[in-house]
Amino acid sequence: MAYCAASTVAGYSKNILGADKIFTESSCPTITQVTGWMSTGCAILETALQSERYVVPVASTASPVYDWLSELNAKYAAAHVEFYRTNVTLSPGERTRGQVIYQLFIDELKMLLYGVDGKGSDLTLSGLSRTTAGKLYAGGISKADKRMWEEDSDRTVPAFFRQMARFPGTLDPVAGNGAS
């Protein structure tokens, strides 16, 4: 699956394509290779969105985000088209067209996920939905649950308990005992 068409990738790669300005099985790279890069770009985009707990795939009805994903997907594939055809020796600091397009892809992906200021963006305002799966939880149980477990007469006595490894004469990492 991809968020863009090969024709969008071709728009970024006009300098590589022949007179027809389309990818075919006889073009270099072939349409099969371009489709593979489009699919890989889509996987990267969806993985990045999932890491921020957004539901994927993004529906085309979320048009602002979908349009942005389409352009990002095309840039990823176009960068690989350029990498495929580029065979130059570079000086330090010099970049190929593929590297420039790839850096655009990375920068715009960060902007999509984290906003222009880098502090985050809420893509739910553009029609994406978030999942609650994978919600992080840190900490023990509530006091009520603890009391319920302690009062349960059928419960097995735990093998470990708090302050089990405290021995007389050992330093305790709390203020006032000389430990730093």
Could you read off the pLDDT tens digit of each residue along the chain, which spans 180 residues?
A: 899 999 999 999 888 887 778 999 988 899 999 999 999 999 999 999 999 989 999 988 877 899 999 999 999 999 999 999 876 666 777 788 889 999 999 999 999 999 988 888 889 888 888 887 655 555 567 777 778 877 888 877 777 766 667 777 766 666 555 544
166 in a domain, yes or no?
A: no
- Domain contains 81: yes
Q: Is 31 within the bounds of a domain?
A: yes
* Cα angle 112, 113, 115; round to 5: 65
117 found inside a domain:
yes
Q: Has residue 33 been placed in a domain?
A: yes
| Reported pTM | 0.69
| In a domain? residue 75 | yes
Number of domains forming the structure of the chain: 1
Domain that holds residue 98: 6-126
Which stretches of the chain are DSSP H helices?
A: 6-12, 31-51, 63-85, 97-114, 143-151
Is 165 inside any structural domain?
Answer: no
